[in-house]
Homo-oligomer: A and B are copies of this chain.
């Protein structure tokens, strides 16, 4: 239990713990700066100041500004995708209505947990580093949707790759518009219901009975 390690790292745990702590402080600082000044006002120096470290230290944790923002975007999108994946699991084997509502609601709810944060991340997502992260997350979402659709007892939905692509991508536009356009709460709810309707209608229009053959 002594602290007599000389030239190596003091102890294994503390070093990692401090490292994780600093990492988290930098993330949190980035979020704050992003919310206060927007993506265009974000500066590595401002982030470092807010996190209580020097710029040099920030660059030990992230190779450059884009990597920092990409990591933040990735963390956010991984959370959102995880929510959608969970909804997919929960709705396995249920009706198309429930499938559609679960997925739509999970996505909207995840994005609206911190609307301003979701909103400001769109500019990060549109940059080079962001686009590949978005693509990867979209891929994961489509996989989860394929699983979900395949679990339906009575129906086949045609080419699941295509159907899940359309399902996944068609909800992002409306939600982005909702987040950036500041529409009324009534309108928000109305649109959520309409989105469910749209996905249900789509699924039913591409579905065929699984029992015998298909139309």
Q: How far apart sit A180 and B187, CA to CA, in the bound complex (Å)?
A: 30
A15 CB–B CB distance under 8 Å:
no
Q: A127-B39, A197-B205, A202-B201 are in contact. Are A191 and B162 (CB under 8 A)?
A: yes
Q: How far apart sit A35 and B90, CA to CA, in the bound complex (Å)?
A: 44
Among residues 128 to 155 in chain A, which have CB atoms less than 8 Å away from a CB atom of chain B? 128, 131, 134-135, 138
The 0/1 profile, CB within 8 Å of B marked 1, for residues 170-197 of chain A is: 1111101100110000010011001101
| Size category of the binding interface on chain A | 35 or more
Cβ of A131 to closest chain B Cβ, rounded Å: 5
A47 CB–B CB distance under 8 Å:
no
Residues on the B chain within 8 Å of A127, using CB: 39-40, 123
Cβ of A197 to closest chain B Cβ, rounded Å: 6
Q: How far apart sit A206 and B127, CA to CA, in the bound complex (Å)?
A: 37
B174–A166 CB distance below 8 A: yes
Residues on the B chain within 8 Å of A123, using CB: 123, 126-128
Cβ of A45 to closest chain B Cβ, rounded Å: 19
Q: How far apart sit A171 and B162, CA to CA, in the bound complex (Å)?
A: 15
Residues on the B chain within 8 Å of A113, using CB: none
A126–B125 CB distance below 8 A: yes
Q: A127-B40, A171-B173 are in contact. Are A202 and B191 (CB under 8 A)?
A: no
Q: How far apart sit A73 and B122, CA to CA, in the bound complex (Å)?
A: 17
Residue of B nearest to A123 (CB): B126
The 7 closest A-B pairs by CB, nearest first: A126-B126, A201-B205, A173-B173, A201-B201, A172-B173, A169-B173, A198-B202
* 18 A-B contact pairs sorted by A residue (CB < 8 Å): A122-B126, A123-B127, A125-B126, A126-B126, A135-B180, A161-B187, A163-B194, A165-B177, A165-B191, A166-B174, A166-B191, A170-B171, A170-B195, A171-B173, A198-B198, A200-B205, A201-B202, A201-B204
